[in-house]
Chain A
Amino acid sequence: MNLLTIDPSAIDWARAQFALTAIYHWLFVPLTLGVGLIMSIMETKYYRTGDAFWRRAAQFWQRLFGINFAMGVATGIILEFEFGTNWSNYSWFVGDIFGAPLAIEGIVAFFMESTFVAVMYFGWEKVSRGFHLASTWLTWLGATISAWWILVANAWMQCPVGCTFNPDTMRNEMTSFFDVALSPFAIGKFCHTVTSSWIVGAAFCVAVCCWYLLKKRETKLALESLRIGAAVGLFAAVLAAATGHKSAQDVASQQPMKLAAMEALYDGGTGQGLKVIEGIEVPYALSFMATNDFNGYVPGINDLLKGYTREDGTVEPSAQEKMMRGRQAIESLAAYRQAKAAGADQATLAPLLASLQENMPYFGYGYIKDEAELVPPIAVNFWAFRVMVGVGCLLILFFAVVLSATCQWPKKWWQKCDITALPSWLYWLAVALVPLTYVASESGWLVAELGRQPWTIQDMLPVGASISNIGSSAVATTFWLFLILFTILLTVEINIMIKQIKKGPQL
């Protein structure tokens, strides 16, 4: 096989495989972060009251946490394997930057989690209540810090900062660790992703409690946990909406094509409305979401392809111009490396290097054959965004109602209502919201990752240049292997989880 001939279907299989493994990994992570928070709150109540009920309640939720943690652990490592095999050009090109947060995640966060999770499970009678409580919170914190570093890596893919390209090593090298670790894009993404995970944990907690109320068992645990779950869920859902607004502004600023695809906005303008569905829109809402100004300018897909003048007078080049400059960068890189290998002097190399550096911001565009490739899949982005936001709004209402009911506030609304004796369909509705919450959570990732297509690194490297020159059959084989393995893992987890929920907290 000619090493330089890419099997086109290998690109699709590699993307599908990465998407499959990421989607499965993301089934476990939000539950860890969300239930981790809830179990920590429960144990804090035990610490403060000394009431054995709260100890048993905390131990029950820690058991469910442990099941999910055990199932989910190491499922993310497979993604790193895929980088080295399927995405080797990407790995080499950006590994110095991308690898650092992943390494820190593994060394710091995972060790923190695994150290304190042992104290959490084994230390109930061996360490003081205060140290045990701290270990529970630190287990959750370790998982959250893990999420931070992974999201720093992902945020860097969406908005590459703090780096410079070295044409001798063919690698992007980190110039500022803190620019990467604390980029505004990373902070926004972290806050939105983690709060959305708390929603998943809260929805799961509420669902388990409603199932107990339906079965008329563990009533005290159900009511107390319901109150905490609903409070966490409402707090998280409101925060997720606020952080989502910030994320939308980051996307508008750094990935305007993603925003245009999310909105199926072909021709932009000022005072843009936010589409609910085609034909129904909230006036001025898109402009406000993107720019914090109801009359702010939001470019559409056609504006981004043709080029436009921003409100501040600066010009966004057209796609064709970017593609031309990208090709110039690729040619300058090739000429520079060839000249250097031939022993050329600085006087020869300097202008080539200058041309490369001048056009480097458009390097990735040099691989684009047709400007239509720059448009992400519109339908998937459009509907995934609406599913995420729609379910998010529904959950704000849901958690507010549940919290109001469990707190019996306002009293006049609930005085004739016995929350332990509602129609069964209401309890089943709460259970049904768990898969819907997961769908919303995964939809958010679809928007984030499909919306950045065709880029693996925004503007720097498209998918076609990132992939290894491998046959599609190998990738397809491992795709099906993963599908089978992860489905088995998920089935086992659901089985064990249901058994333990049915067993109950042994109060």
Chain B
Amino acid sequence: MYENSYIFAADMNKKDSFWHRAFHLYYDGFRQMTLGRTLWLIIAIKLFIIFFVLKLFFFPDFIGQNAESGKEADFVATELQQRAPSP
């Protein structure tokens, strides 16, 4: 994870702008990753499954799908009213 990072540091001019140094922090860091590549792959797969499979297919916005736009309060009011036990 940390191999050879000092090689790239030697190339950096201390007068480089903040943005240049920040870019190289990430660029060099990602390029040198070893274990990090595996972890990032796992993160990418996980995020894809969470947002593009689970959210899209299994977790819709229930009120958005079932209530008329602008009538969400009425929808919830009806739901809550009808859930109360009969006297």
Contact = CB atoms under 8 A, between A and B. Distances in A.
Interface string B17-28: 000010011101
Interface residues of A, number: 59
Contacts of B28: 122, 126
A227 to B, nearest CB: 24
Interface residues of B, number: 48
A91 interface: yes
Contact of A170 (B2, B49, B73): B73
B36 A89 contact: no
A477 B58 contact: yes
B2 to A, nearest CB: 6
Given A84-B59, A122-B25, A126-B5, A333 B83 contact: no
Contacts of B72: 92, 170
- Dominant secondary structure of chain A at its interface with chain B: helix
Interface string A336-368: 010000000000000000000000000000111
A334 B35 contact: no
Contacts of A49: none
A353 B42 CA distance: 53
A70 B62 CA distance: 30
A6 B82 CA distance: 10
Given A81-B54, A327-B87, A125 B62 contact: no
B5 A464 contact: no
Interface in A156-187: 168-171
A121 B36 contact: yes
Interface in A233-248: none
Given A118-B29, A334-B77, A126 B58 contact: no
Contacts of B49: 485
A330 B77 contact: no
Contacts of B81: 330, 333-334
Contacts of A70: 39-40, 42-43
A339 B8 CA distance: 73
Contact of A66 (B21, B39, B61, B79): B39
B38 interface: yes
A369 B85 contact: yes
A118 B26 CA distance: 7
Nearest to A368: B85
A50 to B, nearest CB: 16
Interface of A: 3-4, 6, 59, 63, 66-67, 70-71, 73-74, 77-78, 81-82, 84-86, 88-89, 91-93, 118-119, 121-127, 168-171, 327, 330, 333-334, 337, 366-369, 464-465, 468-470, 474, 477-478, 481, 485, 489, 492, 496, 500
